[in-house]
Structure 1
Amino acid sequence: MPYQSNELLCGHFRDNNIDLSHIDAQLQLVAPASPNLPLYREMMLTVLRMAHDDADRWSAKITAQALRELDQSFRALQRYKGRRKVTVFGSARTPLQHPMYAIARELGATLARSDLMVITGAGGGIMAAAHEGAGSDHSLGFNITLPFEQYANATVDGTDKLLPFHFFFIRKLFFVKEADALVLCPGGFGTLDEALEVLTLIQTGKSPLVPVVLLDSPDGTFWRDCLAFIRNQLEENRYILPGDLKLVRLVHTADEAVEEINQFYRNYHSSRWLKSQFVIRMQHALSAAALQDIRKTFADLCMNGEFEQQPDSSAEHETADYGHLTRLSFAFTGRDQGRLRELVNFINVPENWLT
């Protein structure tokens, strides 16, 4: 059945003589000033619709477990809101003596020195190495509960930095949702699955643009060969846009990986959609010359109109946390995220900032 809007759900309940007034009263009592009241109301209407249909117990159990898991994870991660985080993927089977183990451990330590938290799946191998380097204060582990015995690595095991997940899909959601950057080390099917899913989400605009770093040892060929396949088979056959590969960068040291992440946020802060406008939040305003250069060089990103710069979010009703940041807004086509990455690179050049 296709998605039904709040209005259609209300009409459905009215047709069945179901009184919904108590829902609004309870919501007003619990969260009277919340701007999210319409969203909470829609959630409750959806649950009521499921209860009315009462299709099967399995569907109800999945929904209940998913809601509990989402709520618990949101609560646990609330205290880290505002801290930049980097999700590190890689094989759980990487042995201690492997060169990538030492590189992943140095990656964790270098990220921690930049005050970046390290998120992993909390397992062994690359995950254990990255957490070992970062230390407990800069680590978060998103573990998966399995029917057989499962252990978290020593850095996060038994701490409040370990979040257990029942569903893989919710765990994967938080890997991406919480990440201000992603670093992918060599690994197996799981690592490749995560790499391609992340790139798909960014390529299609379903996930915000963040740095995606492929990290391999100096003489490693894992990601080099993967990229060669993508170029020869996907790009050459036009299955992806030529600019899509600009969404990733291959590096061979921990320092290079962290520098790529820090460079991405040198001026760029974050982005959002505001109706038909795509808004880039910046820490520094662009000079008049840089703005003119953008209007000329990146005109292909606009559906209509041109790039506009605003000193703050007074016209957006933005939250106080981001209200002071300068805005660059335009009617983005949403199609070529590789070109968008080139625009971000441009606004990160200090010579383009207003002095």
Structure 2
Amino acid sequence: MTTGNQQHSEDVQAAELRERLDAVIADAGALGHRGLIRRIVSTGIGLGTDGATRLDLKITATAVEEMRAAFRLFAPFVGVPKVTIFGSARTQSHDPLWVGAEAAARGLAELGWMVVTGAGPGIMEAAATGAGPERSLGISIRLPFEEAPLDVAADDGHRIAMKYFFTRKLMLVKESRGFICLPGGFGTMDETFELLTLQQTGKMEPMPIVLLDRAGGTYWQGFARFVTEELAGSGLIAVDDLDRVLVTDSPDAAIAEVTGFWRNYDSLRWQGEQLVLRVRAEPSDAELDDLNERFSGLCEVGAITRSGPLASEIADDDALDLPRLVLTPRRRAVGDLYRLIRALNELDSAPR
């Protein structure tokens, strides 16, 4: 049991350590977000005092180093919309899937998007080729049994390599505002299911997800059948969980799905039990009435209403110029939320 004197001594030591860390942080010139930087450094010291093994320390150090490298990779392109394209590393250049990935990436790049890939061969190389070196970013993984990609945008500051899948997967998702998945093996399935899990659980803000196949292909149709018959049929997921995903064999439809998702909808933020949806154009009275009639089952209490920026948004200077709609949604109503976003994008008042 800790005595009063022991607690006092520990508090004094913690305060002294904090002062010393603040001095080191200041000397290093890291003036912004000092509290967060102190937490990172303190955690590292804590691992040492915990007696963490050398392997645990190496994993931690490498993960932080890889995340820093990825943050620096993306930093020059803040504000540029990005789409991540997943797919098999084994797809050959003559395959219609390669052609489809290249076409989708090229179309999005022409509309001002950047394309993020795993910087490998196959579909990843096709997407990087379609987007071009100035519009593509790559995060590769060092693997012992896979070939390296061809020399697309090499050594231009648009690529990094990582040791760990978990840091790579984080950065392939974190910066993007849309995802296109083409047929692939275990890795593609892993990435696709992770997207669906993040979407279903609300750990990722609503994003467009497209499952793109070759013309007449059955890969994603078979996937959807498995999800519907086995997962939903067994009560393991909701019957409408896959409704948020577009299954198509058209690169043009994939492009339209990704870009159209952001036609009017901009972002969301939680304020306690309330959900704030930021849009580009405020709906008319008649449109708001229609939305409340169509989505009455989405609200736990009350209705969808207009709002100015909430206190937390004002404190963070968070998109204060945008119109807002506020509601208190039912839990697990993710499917209805996506349908509401699509309805907002289809309003006559939405930007063209």
TM-score (structure 2 length as normaliser):
0.89
Aligned to 2:258: 261
Match of 1:57 in 2: 54
Q: Distance in 1 between matches of 2:144 and 2:202?
A: 35
- Tell me which of 137, 143, 163 is aligned to 2:140: 143
Q: Tell me what 1:5 maps to.
A: none
Residues 1-355 of structure 1: matches in 2 within 5 Å? 14=10, 17-18=13-14, 19=16, 20-27=18-25, 30-32=29-31, 34=32, 36-147=33-144, 151-312=148-309, 316-317=313-314, 322-353=319-350
Name the count of aligned residue pairs. 343
Q: Summarize deviations over 1:181-221 as a string: whole Å, max 9, x none.
A: 00011111111111111100110011111000010112111
- The answer (yes or no) to whether the contact 1:143–1:152 under 8 Å persists in 2 is no
Query: Hey, what's the Cα distance between the residues in 2 that align with 1:262 and 1:354?
Result: 13
Contact 1:95 1:125 in 2 (8 A): yes
Is this contact kept in 2: 1:313–1:327, CA < 8 A? no
Mapped to 2, the partners of 1:316 and 1:229 lie a distance apart of: 42
SS at match of 2:289: helix
Gaps of 5+ in 1: 1-10
Return the offset for 1:12. 10
Q: Give the drift of 1:306.
A: 3.1
Contact 1:136-1:155 at 8 Å conserved across structures: yes
Structure 2 unaligned segments of length 5 or more: list them. 1-6
The C-alpha deviation readout for 1:317-341, integer Å capped at 9, x for no partner, is 2655722122222233441221111
Instruction: Work out the CA distance in 2 between the residues paired with 1:328 and 1:262.
Output: 21
Q: Which residue of 1 aligns with 2:4?
A: none
Instruction: Write the deviation string for residues 223-280 of structure 1: whole angstroms up to 9, x where unpaired.
Output: 0111111111111222111221122111111111001111101101122223433222
Question: What is the Cα deviation at residue 314 of structure 1?
Answer: 6.9
User: Is the CA contact 2:82–2:113 (under 8 Å) kept in the aligned structure 1?
Assistant: yes
Gap change, CA 1:128 and 1:149, over 3 Å in 2: closer
Report the alpha carbon displacement of residue 153 of structure 1 after superposing the two structures with TM. 3.1
Quick one: structure 1 residues 52 and 334, their matched pair in 2 at CA, closer, same or farther if it must change by over 3 Å?
same
Answer yes or no: is the 8 Å Cα contact 1:211–1:261 preserved in 2.
yes
**CA shift at 1:31, angstroms?**
4.9
Q: Which residue of 1 aligns with 2:3?
A: none
Paired with 1:17 and 1:23, the residues of 2 have a C-alpha distance of 12
> Which stretch of the first structure deviates more once superposed, 233-242 or 167-176?
233-242
Using the aligned pairs only, state the percent identity: 36
Question: What is the rounded CA distance, in whole Å, between the counterparts of 2:150 and 2:335 in structure 1?
Answer: 36
In the alignment, is the contact (CA less than 8 A) between 1:213 and 1:250 conserved in 2? yes
Give the drift of 1:293: 2.6
